[in-house]
Structure 1
Amino acid sequence: MRILVVGAGALGGYFGACLARAGRDVDFLVRPARAELLRARGLRVRDLDGGVESTPVSVVTADRLGADYDLVLLAVKSYGLEAAIKDLSPAVGPRTAVVPFLNGMRHVDALVERFGADRVYGGVGLVQTRLGAEGEVERVGDLAELVYGPLSDTPVQPLERVHAALDGAGFAATPAPAIRQRMWEKWVFLATLGACTCLMRGTIGPVNRAPGGAEFTSAMTDEAVAIATASGFPPGEEFLRWARSVISDTTAANSTTLYWDLTHGNPVEADHIIGDLVHRARDLGVPAPLFSLARTHLSVYAAALAADA
C-alpha cells in the first residue's frame, strides 16, 4: 500500500518515520524548504534519552504529486488545513483513503465535502512529541498511538487493509469502527486541559492547587461533557474517570500543545479546538461561559501575534 504523509511535524514526522523504518512505502508531502532539509539530513527523531535517530525518507512537493496513493495520512495544524487540502488533492484517486489526525471535528466536514465520505476516515493521534529548533521531532513522553476508522459504511479502502498498512510499525495501531466517539472524547479532554492551562497560564497541577482552581477545572470539564452529550456523543464512564483524574491532578505538570504554543509565541489552534466547541454549544443551547472566555482570551493573543507578524 502506498502511503502519503502530509506534514512532517511533531505527529506526522514521528509516525511517518516509524512507518518508513518498518519498510512501508511512504512519501512525505512537505514544503520545498522542509523537503530540502529532509533530503539532506533525513527525518531526525530524538528519543527520551536524548539520542537522535535519522531516517532517510522519500519527500515530494505539491507540484510533483500524482494520484497513485492508497492512503493519505493528514497531520497538519488546523490553521494549515485549507492549504493542505489544496496541496494533497492531486494525490487522491478513486481508491484513496484520507485519514486525518487533527484535533476537534471541524476538519471532518471540510474533508468530506471535498473528497466524499467514502474516501475519508476519522482519526485520533496520541503522541507526546514536539518539533525542535532544528526541525527534529522530540519525544517528551512514551505515548504513541494512532486510532482510525471509516466514516462511511462503504469506504473505498476497508478498515482491515488500512489497519494492515499501519500495524506493526513500532507504535500502537488501533482500528475503531466507532471512530467519531473516540474523536469526541479526545476533543473533550484536549479542549478542557488546553482551556484550563491557557486561561490560567500554568500547567494543571498549579492550577488545581490555586484557590478556586479545583472548582474551576471541574466546571470546565462539566461544560465540555455537556456539549459532547448534547451533540450525541456522551463520553464513556471509563474515559470520564480517567479524564477527570488527569484534569483534577494537583501535582502533575500536564498541559497541551495549545498551551505550549501560547507560551512560546507560536500560532495556536484556538478556532479549531476551542472556538468550534463554543459554536456548537451556542447552536445547541448549551451554556459554555468558561469556554467562551477561553476563546476570547486566545483570540486576543492571536490578534496580537498577527499584528506583530
Structure 2
Amino acid sequence: MTTSYKIGVIGAGNIGTAMAALVSQSGADVWLTARGARLGQITQDGVHLDDRGTVISARPKTCDHLKAPMDALFVCVKSQSLASALHLNRAAITPDTLVIPMVNGLPFWFYADETGLGAVPLLDPDGDLARILTPQQVLGAVLLMTVQMDDAGLAKSSNTPTLSLGAVCEGVDADKVGQLISLLNCGGVRTEFDRDIRQKVLVKLLANFATNPLSALTGAMLDELGQTPALRDISTALADEFRDWASSEGYELPPNAWLVDLLIDAGAFPTSMLQDALAGKPLELDAICLAPMELAKAKGTPMPTLGGLLDLLNTATSLPARKAQVPDMIQTLRLSQTA
C-alpha cells in the first residue's frame, strides 16, 4: 500500500535506521536525515534491519535536513541534541505535524499540560523546544527494541519492536494519531495508544537509570549486571533511589525482582550508554541521570548511590582502564550508600 502520508525520521543511528526500515514497509513516503559518511552510505545503499533473522531493506528518501512539511516526525537523536535537530529541521514542522521524540531518559514534556510543555531541569534550559513545539502536537513514545549496528550499517534487533504512543496533554487530534498508528502497525512496529504514557516512560527509565551509568562505568553487559552479585546490588540500589523519587511523584514502579529478570533475559547486550562509551561519544547523562537526580533533590529523596557513581564517571580514565578497577569502584559505591 502506498500513501501520500509523509513520515520524517531525524537521525540514522540505531533507532532511526530501524524505524526508517520498518515504516518504509507501510507504504508511507519516508524521509531519513543523516550527516557525513552515514548520509552517503544510506543514499547509496539504503537502510537494512536484521529483525530477528529477517533482513528488511528499504530506500527512504535521504537528506541532511528536511525541507518540506511532514505529517509525522520521529526524532531519533540523543536528548542533548534534540533542540538543535529540531531547529535544523524546522521546515518539516507545521502546527499539524505530529512530533515523536524517541529519546531515552526523562522527557522534556514530562510536566506538559494544555498551556505549555512545562519544565524539567537541564532538558530545555533555553526554552527552545517550548518555542518550536506545542504540547498538542507532541506524542510521548516508549520503544521497546534492542538495536545494535555493525560497521557496515546493518542494524540488528533481537526482539519484536513494540511502541507505545501517548498524548502529553488534552487536545491531540485522535484521527491523526490513529492514522499514524495504523501505518506503524502495517510497517511491523507493534504500536498502541497509551493513555498513561508517563507511567510507561518511568517503567522504562527505571531500567535505564539502574543500568546505563553503571554499564558505562564498568563495561558490563545487561546480563552481567543481573547475574554478578556485586553489580546487581549496585543496580538494584540505583533502582531503589529512582523508585523513591517516582513514588513521591505518585507513580508505583515494578520491584527489583522484575528488574533482575529483565537484565538476565536481555542477555549480553550493551546499554545505549555503554555503546556511546565504547564509541567515545558523549553520554546521555542529563536525561537519564541528572534530571531525575535534580528533581529528587527538590523532593527530599536523595540519590547517594547515583551521586557516587557519577563522581567515579567524572574522574575515571578510559573504559578499558576502568574495567580493571571495577572491584575498587564497587567498594567506593557501597561506601557512598552509607555515607
TM-score, structure 1 as length reference: 0.84
Corresponding residue number in structure 2 for 1:59: 62
Query: Aligned-residue CA RMSD in angstroms?
Result: 2.8
Number of matched residues? 297
- For residues 249 and 283 of structure 2, the distance between their equivalents in structure 1, rounded to whole angstroms, comes to 25
Corresponding residue number in structure 2 for 1:3: 7
- For residues 216 and 116 of structure 1, the distance between their equivalents in structure 2, rounded to whole angstroms, comes to 39
Report deviation, 1:264. Answer: 4.3
Corresponding residue number in structure 1 for 2:189: 171
1:245 is matched by which residue type in structure 2?
D
- For residues 309 and 77 of structure 2, the distance between their equivalents in structure 1, rounded to whole angstroms, comes to 23
Corresponding residue number in structure 1 for 2:99: 98
Q: Which moved more, 1:40-49 or 1:99-108?
A: 40-49
- For residues 40 and 159 of structure 2, the distance between their equivalents in structure 1, rounded to whole angstroms, comes to 29
> SS where residue 164 of structure 1 aligns?
helix
- For residues 299 and 156 of structure 1, the distance between their equivalents in structure 2, rounded to whole angstroms, comes to 44
Judged with a 3 Å threshold, the aligned counterparts in structure 2 of structure 1 residues 244 and 230 are, in CA distance, closer, same or farther, namely farther
Judged with a 3 Å threshold, the aligned counterparts in structure 2 of structure 1 residues 31 and 209 are, in CA distance, closer, same or farther, namely closer
1:291 aligns with 2:303: no
Q: 2:210·2:236 contact (CA, 8 Å) conserved in 1?
A: no
Judged with a 3 Å threshold, the aligned counterparts in structure 2 of structure 1 residues 88 and 297 are, in CA distance, closer, same or farther, namely farther
- For residues 188 and 194 of structure 1, the distance between their equivalents in structure 2, rounded to whole angstroms, comes to 10
Q: 2:143·2:163 contact (CA, 8 Å) conserved in 1?
A: yes
2:104 is matched by which residue type in structure 1?
N
Report deviation, 1:188. Answer: 1.1
Q: Which moved more, 1:250-259 or 1:270-279?
A: 250-259
Report deviation, 1:213. Answer: 4.1
TM-score, structure 2 as length reference: 0.78
- For residues 150 and 250 of structure 1, the distance between their equivalents in structure 2, rounded to whole angstroms, comes to 30
Corresponding residue number in structure 1 for 2:258: 242
Q: Which moved more, 1:25-34 or 1:74-83?
A: 25-34
1:27 aligns with 2:31: yes
Residue from 211, 220, 229 that aligns with 2:238: 220
- For residues 251 and 143 of structure 1, the distance between their equivalents in structure 2, rounded to whole angstroms, comes to 13
Corresponding residue number in structure 1 for 2:287: 272
Judged with a 3 Å threshold, the aligned counterparts in structure 2 of structure 1 residues 54 and 169 are, in CA distance, closer, same or farther, namely closer
- For residues 47 and 208 of structure 1, the distance between their equivalents in structure 2, rounded to whole angstroms, comes to 25
Q: Deviations over 1:167-223 (max 9, x none)?
A: 221121121121111111111111112233334432344445556444333222111
> SS where residue 233 of structure 1 aligns?
coil
Q: Which moved more, 1:79-88 or 1:92-101?
A: 79-88
Report deviation, 1:119. Answer: 1.3
Corresponding residue number in structure 1 for 2:332: none
Q: Deviations over 1:36-60 (max 9, x none)?
A: 32221111223544x7543211113
Q: 1:223·1:287 contact (CA, 8 Å) conserved in 2?
A: yes
Identity %: 22
- For residues 161 and 151 of structure 1, the distance between their equivalents in structure 2, rounded to whole angstroms, comes to 18
- For residues 210 and 75 of structure 1, the distance between their equivalents in structure 2, rounded to whole angstroms, comes to 32
Q: 1:193·1:255 contact (CA, 8 Å) conserved in 2?
A: no
Q: Deviations over 1:263-285 (max 9, x none)?
A: 44333212221122211211211
Report deviation, 1:115. Answer: 0.8
Judged with a 3 Å threshold, the aligned counterparts in structure 2 of structure 1 residues 229 and 120 are, in CA distance, closer, same or farther, namely same
> SS where residue 146 of structure 2 aligns?
strand
2:274 is matched by which residue type in structure 1?
Y
